[in-house]
Amino acid sequence: MSEFQPKIVAFVCNWCTYAGADLTGTSRIKYSPNVRIVRFPCTGRIDYMLLTKAFASGADGIIVSGCHPNDCHYTSGNFYARRRWIVFKKLCDFMGIDTRRIVFSWVSAAEGSKWADIVNTTNEEIIKLGPYDSYHKLSTQDILE
Amino acid sequence: MARIGVFICHCGENISATVDCPKVSEVAAKFPGVAYSVDYKYMCSDPGQSLVVNAIKEHKLTGIVVSACSPRMHEPTFRRACAEAGLNPYLCEMANIREHCSWVHEKGDRTDQKAIDVVRMMVEKVKRNNALMSIKVPVTKTALVIGGGVAGIQAALDIANAGHKVVMVEREPSIGGHMSQLSETFPTLDCSQCILTPRMVEVAQNPNITLYTYAEVESVEGFVGNFNVKIRKKAKSIDETLCNGCGMCTTKCPQKKIPNEFELGMGNRPAIYVPFPQAVPNVPVIDRLNCTYYKNGKCKICEKFCQPKAIRFDQEDEIIEVAVGAISICTGFDVKKTDFFPEYGYGKHKDIIDGLQFERMASASGPTLGAIRRPSDGAEPKKIVFVACAGSRDPAKGIEYCSKICCMYTAKHAILYKHKVHDGTAYIFYMDIRAAGKNYDEFTRRAIEEDNAQYIRGRVSSIYERDGKLIVIGTDTLMNHETVEIEADMVVLATAGVANQGAEELAQKLHVSYDQHRFFSEAHPKLKPVETNTAGIYLAGACQSPKDIPESVAAASGVAGKISCLFSSSELTREPLIAFVDRIAAPDYSSCTGCFLCQPVCPYNAIEKEDIKDRAGNLIKSLAYINPGLCQGCGTCVAICKSKSIDIDGYTNQQMYSEVDALLNS
């Protein structure tokens, strides 16, 4: 099982978490290379269909992260992201998507070490859960049946 | 057919020490659509950029991916290189393999794989980039200054002297702020009002400055260069154009016992009043909560005595709309009141006052005309205790920060006290003496050496009353932590400087952020100390954090410089990465169904309703329309749109989905 290296996709906002991950770099704090960062202008832009798309395309875990509440560069985008996450989580439960594989967090532009922590803990967590084969192998045919 | 160029930067050894750059370049060359791939030591250097420019021309590239540092660092550099080569600058993307890869991972196959994945993902994205034109917006060359304290006055005068119009809004009936309340200023002991009031008069007389006192900002809409501000001018009950400031009304008003806010409750004022004699403008206001006429419907004595007939009892609040290009927040600070401290008697002892009250007492124009007197019985205090850090640097009180000005003004208070009460003794309980600043340390030394201030390093645990005296119990940490008990006549608490009342509300109106202590946040603590995260809105003075006068003035001049730069051209260039609603041919016109779910989520009110009509003027369909001048490109509307009719340039649905696809289907 230790051979398993999960694929983790991180959907982050440009102003806080992307900058926070930049700070992790400038501070040379090491973290797992299993994560791939996708940059958005704001967490409010993140269409949660992208999350299901990511799972369908082979992701084992997903991180969504933006500015702390009240710190959004666009004032309120992160609040909409949070609301949508609450609803989406219920939908996931209904559809049988494992919500343990989705980590929702706030990382500010000053929290370089927090970003490294989140990636590392998510990585360990996903390694424990194993590959998300039950979703990856799901074909349209299965759904129709 | 896309012809994408990939440029892998070694960044000296910053990237190449961890990531195998030639290998990444080799693999990238085989990605579909990649026409050219190369690695180079320093892509951002002059030869590196020429390499990019030449490759674009030679290989007729339709888009480039520069795989190097964070786009927050060098995206503008490579966009310029594209423009130089004749390629639209928005056909450039950066793959971050330094901050997000080489600096945070160990050397190895997995790190190389990550770099390759990141490049592939950006190649897929850039194939779907649209050529965009930057947006030009006009600039209204008028600045709004909120707050008329020393910072606001400085900012307004500097901007006005640069030749631009300024609108100043002040909440109180007069400008001047806290500085007008001070007696003398450290470290020179020059009289605060003597240096401030000429500046206040200058504001009133400057033809470029429009001053609204007794007014507050009601709402702010728009964006840098084009803000629309509504100002609520509260009813003064006076016709300002007629009032000549004779002051007859204030002397005749029968209400005389209203606690005076300017004197911090240590003096009284009538219901129709000017806050202090040097007030600018010198126009009284009627305090409607305390005026006999407004309470009982009878009185109007002021009206009887007003010769120019300027009293207007039926005046109403006025909403004034102004168009401005930039905003400076100079709303200042407040001090914690003595009732904040249970250990010091919750403010119930009359002879325990705060630092600002002591300032009024020491001021020649104050309630005691400059004499130091116990508020309880008017006696001259022979023993006075100053408590520094009252509230500040105390996590238990929720104020972890240092209020910065208290060490200096406490030393000043001790000096002023000694100058006025020659046979008195001043004790100062302190944690540390923080006197960093030009001539500041010399000033505190002067308090100790010349004016014999007794500095005791320790905290005061409690103060209680005994036989008309205040017993101050403290500790002296430099004397084996011995308990010190002082029978004092008066105590002055150097209470913490805190954010002004209404700071959060203003922050929300302006869309700027604030910290956990409700002080406004600067865009960058070191390199952008006077900017906020919202373009065109700036900060000066103690609304940002506790600041002394020279710092506030310096910040205000900084803001004026920034605003003058902004006003130096008549047009601003903005990034075109904004949202748009799709358009198709008739009879559908758009896939937008007109549900307008997008409207309430837009933080900038940028989404409007657009009616499609036929030639006869009959309504065919109502669509969402995004005002490109207002949209800031957050994309919240894109995610909420049920019919997927809204998209955002730079982060289109196609781009994002293909990024995810490229990442995982390797």
pLDDT digits (tens, 9 = 90+) for B134-144: 888 899 999 99
Mark whether B559 and B634 lie in a shared domain.
Answer: no
Report the candidate in A108, A75, A78, A24 with the shortest Cα–Cα distance to residue B525.
A108
Per the structure, the count of domains in chain A is 1
d(CA B32, CA B123): 9
pLDDT digits (tens, 9 = 90+) for B332-374: 999 999 999 999 988 889 999 999 999 999 999 999 999 999 9
Residue B260 lies in a domain: yes
Residue B281 lies in a domain: yes
Bridging pattern class, strands B490-495 and B34-40: unpaired
Residue A22 lies in a domain: yes
Query: Domain containing A25 — which CATH number?
Result: 3.40.50
d(CA B487, CA B467): 10
Bridging pattern class, strands B34-40 and B4-9: parallel
d(CA A93, CA A96): 5
Residue A132 lies in a domain: yes
d(CA B551, CA B548): 6
B99 touches chain A (CB under 8 A): yes
Which residue does chain A place closest to B604, by CA atoms? Answer: A74
Residue A88 lies in a domain: yes
Mark whether B172 and B261 lie in a shared domain.
Answer: no
Partner residue facing B100 (CB), from A15, A37, A42: A37
Residue B28 lies in a domain: yes
- The whole domain housing B626 covers 579-648
Categorize the per-residue pLDDT at A1 as very low, low, confident or very high, splitting at 50, 70 and 90: very low
User: Is the CB of A25 less than 8 angstroms away from the CB of B511?
Assistant: no
Residue B654 lies in a domain: no
As a whole number, mean pLDDT of residues A96-118 equals 92
pLDDT digits (tens, 9 = 90+) for B458-471: 999 999 999 999 99
Which residue does chain A place closest to B657, by CA atoms? Answer: A50
A42 CA to chain B: closest CA distance, Å?
A: 5
d(CA B179, CA B199): 12
Residue B45 lies in a domain: yes
Which residue does chain B place closest to A21, by CA atoms? Answer: B100
Mark whether B357 and B456 lie in a shared domain.
Answer: yes
Residue A116 has pLDDT above 70, yes or no: yes
Residue B190 lies in a domain: yes
Can you read off the two tokens belonging to residue B634?
């957050």
Mark whether B396 and B357 lie in a shared domain.
Answer: yes
Under a CB-based contact definition with an 8 Å cutoff, are residues B613 and B585 in contact? no
- The whole domain housing A12 covers 8-144
Q: Which residues of chain B have pLDDT under 70?
A: 666
**CA dihedral of residues B334, B335, B337, B342 (deg, nearest 10):** 130
Domain limit, last residue, from B284, B314, B344: B314
User: Is the CB of B659 less than 8 angstroms away from the CB of A38?
Assistant: yes
Residue A87 with chain B: CB contacts under 8 Å: none
Q: How far is CA B517 from CA B395, B502, B546, B623, in A?
A: 12, 12, 11, 43
> Mutate which of B70, B110, B660, B666 to test chain A, going by most A C-beta atoms within 10 A?
B660
Q: What pLDDT, on a 0 to 100 scale, did the predictor assign at position B253?
A: 94
**Burial bucket for residue B312 (CB in 10 Å: 0-12, 13-18, 19+):** middle
Under a CB-based contact definition with an 8 Å cutoff, are residues A4 and A130 in contact? yes
Which residue is associated with the tokens 């939908």? A91
Which residue does chain A place closest to B646, by CA atoms? Answer: A45
Query: Domain containing B41 — which CATH number?
Result: 3.40.50
What ipTM does the predicted assembly reach?
Answer: 0.94
User: Is the CB of A18 less than 8 angstroms away from the CB of B72?
Assistant: yes
d(CA B505, CA B646): 31
Can you read off the two tokens belonging to residue A121?
């803990």
pLDDT digits (tens, 9 = 90+) for B579-628: 999 999 988 899 999 999 999 999 888 899 999 999 999 999 999 999 88
Bridging pattern class, strands B469-476 and B482-488: antiparallel
